[in-house]
Amino acid sequence: MLLLALARIADNTAYYMTKYIFNAVGEGDYSKMLFYVLLFALPQIFSTLIGPLGNLIHDKYMINANRDMKLDIFRKLHELDVFYHTNKRSGSLISMMRRGENAFWSYNIEIERNLLRVLIDLIFTAVAFFLVSPILMIIILVGFVLNLGFTYVLIKINMRTRRELNRQEDNITGIIADNMINYDTVKYFGNENLEQKRLTNQYDNWTKAIWSYANSFRVIELWIGILITVSVTLLMLVSREQLLAGTMSVGEFALVVTLSISFFPRLGEVIFRFRELTKNQTDFEKYLEVLDEKTEIVEEPDAEILKNVKGHIEYKNVNFQYREREKVISNFNLDIKPNESVALVGVSGAGKSTLVKLLLRFYDVTSGEILIDGKNIKNLTKESLRKAIGIVPQDTMMFNDTIRFNIGYAKENASLKEIKNAAKLANLDEFIERLPEKYDTLVGERGIKLSGGQRQRLAIARTILENPPIVVFDEATSQLDSESEKAIQQAFWEIAEDKTTIVIAHRLSTIRKADRIIVLKDGEIFEEGTHTELSAKKGGLYNGLWNLQTGELKD
């Protein structure tokens, strides 16, 4: 900024030489005129040399700062809880980041380059006019203040219309993103025309918002244009009177004209720079608001890294409810021994998946505690806790990358041999080897190029590669045919022999080999035992579910 300021001072010094150049012309002294022309050129050369250097230093700072800012936002988005992301639309987040990044560039450039230059121009011009005639300085300062005053009022209106336009643009981006993600659902219901209509209706709101935004600019242009024209005209008229009265030289008149026609257009430009700043402020505030979002699942400053995990899991008097909703888990107690396999069953909403989310600290218990190897999970780092638990979710999402990348995601720098071994255990290798590009095949966004069963087997392979001490299978075979289910069950029980395993299942054939089956009802343990014990318990909840699935219930 110092270099840029010196460059601008040099430019203005060159402008000031016009006074002496015109006086020399009026006197007919062309030797003196040549001298002042050279004096005009020297500061311009100086400005030409140090201006680009200042811009280079500024660019270096900007590039690094922009990178750091984006990484901070990205890191914060990962730190934020599951609850935050379940209440945000991906399209809106992407729009926010794109606009925020653009605003970061523009905001800094406007303040550190353009506004700095205008401020120096104002000071230099005011001083130059004062030396010629104090009345001229008063005119320029009054014109400047009036411009700023009108700008402040008009830009506040502009900011309101910008916020509304941003909201409408986020809605449009959200609809488009939802349609791209769920295009198959749209086609299942034949709702292409409905979605076109929904987007068209949203564009009606957007059109109103953008016209309000655009018209606010036209009002600014009108008023600022009038004020600048009046200010320059008034300066010219006053200077003319002083020239005629003999109190102003030709060179001074030329100086007033030169500075007037150079400063006020730049002032008009800076007024629109203020407009850009307000637009960017709206976008930049929303961008930085992410950093102010509160992370509810907080990691203790002295959190312990979970090491040498044996896999002993304890739920002690656990209660939980989502925000203001009714209680989901009530007085839950469960002791899972190392290397034990425990199945959680029950009707939808019984609390099975919630117990796993609590174990992973996606949410914190309302009361009670969860322990791993005798250590409260609240006292552990979230990273080490989650790396100790491998999960095959019910809905498997994939990165839009290769099969190799998606399986290898579980283990940094995993070799192709390790990835192939994991795929083989998951009964996926034969399918992959039939593909033209094999493990380098792209799976598409969310793994859309794979079938549901293939995605689930890939997720199982990923967990096998990770080889964690604790494994959670959440409906891991729900989308598989009977033959694949049998093969994966066999592989699953083989890898589960030396691991603590939690299996969530509606398909009860998956869990017959479990050491214990926990039957949940309304967030509490309703029944507990082995498959043999529970299936033989007439009138029991598990017995009813088993009979229903095996077709033994009669009308």
Q: Over the stretch 331-371, which tens digit does the pLDDT of each residue have?
A: 889 999 998 889 888 877 778 888 888 998 888 888 899 99
- Six-digit token string for 20: 């002496």
Rounded mean pLDDT of 175-203?
77
In percent, the amount of the chain with pLDDT more than 70 equals 90
User: Is residue 103 scored above 90 in pLDDT?
Assistant: no
Model confidence pLDDT, tens digit, residues 230-259: 888 888 888 888 888 888 888 888 888 888
Answer yes or no: are the C-beta atoms of 344 and 304 closer than 8 Å.
Answer: no
Dihedral (Cα; 125, 272, 7, 130), 10-degree rounding? 10
User: Is residue 127 scored above 90 in pLDDT?
Assistant: no
First to last CA, the chain: 84
Our measurement of the distance from residue 30's CA atom to the centroid of its chain's CA atoms, rounded to an integer in Å, reads 64
pLDDT of residue 371: 93
| pLDDT class of 76 with cuts at 50, 70, 90 | confident
Rounded mean pLDDT of 279-301?
80
Answer yes or no: are the C-beta atoms of 393 and 459 closer than 8 Å.
Answer: yes
Nearest to 475 by CA among 452, 499, 494: 452
User: Is residue 481 scored above 70 in pLDDT?
Assistant: no
Model confidence pLDDT, tens digit, residues 515-555: 898 888 888 888 888 888 888 888 778 888 777 777 654 44
pLDDT of residue 183: 67
159: left (phi over 0), alpha (psi -120 to 50) or beta: alpha
User: Is residue 281 scored above 80 in pLDDT?
Assistant: no
Rounded mean pLDDT of 295-317?
87
User: Is residue 451 scored above 50 in pLDDT?
Assistant: yes
What the chain holds in terms of domains, given with CATH numbers, is 2-292 (1.20.1560.10), 395-467 (3.40.50.300)
pLDDT of residue 487: 64
| pLDDT class of 188 with cuts at 50, 70, 90 | low
DSSP codes of every residue in 388-447: TEEEE-SS----SSBHHHHHHTTSTT--HHHHHHHHHHTT-HHHHHTSTTGGG-B--GGG
pTM of structure: 0.64
Rounded mean pLDDT of 438-456?
76
Tell me, what DSSP letter sits at residue 286?
H
CA distance 295 to 380: 16
pLDDT of residue 28: 81
More confident residue, 6 or 391: 6
Q: The tokens 């022309």 sit on which residue?
A: 37
Rounded mean pLDDT of 198-224?
85
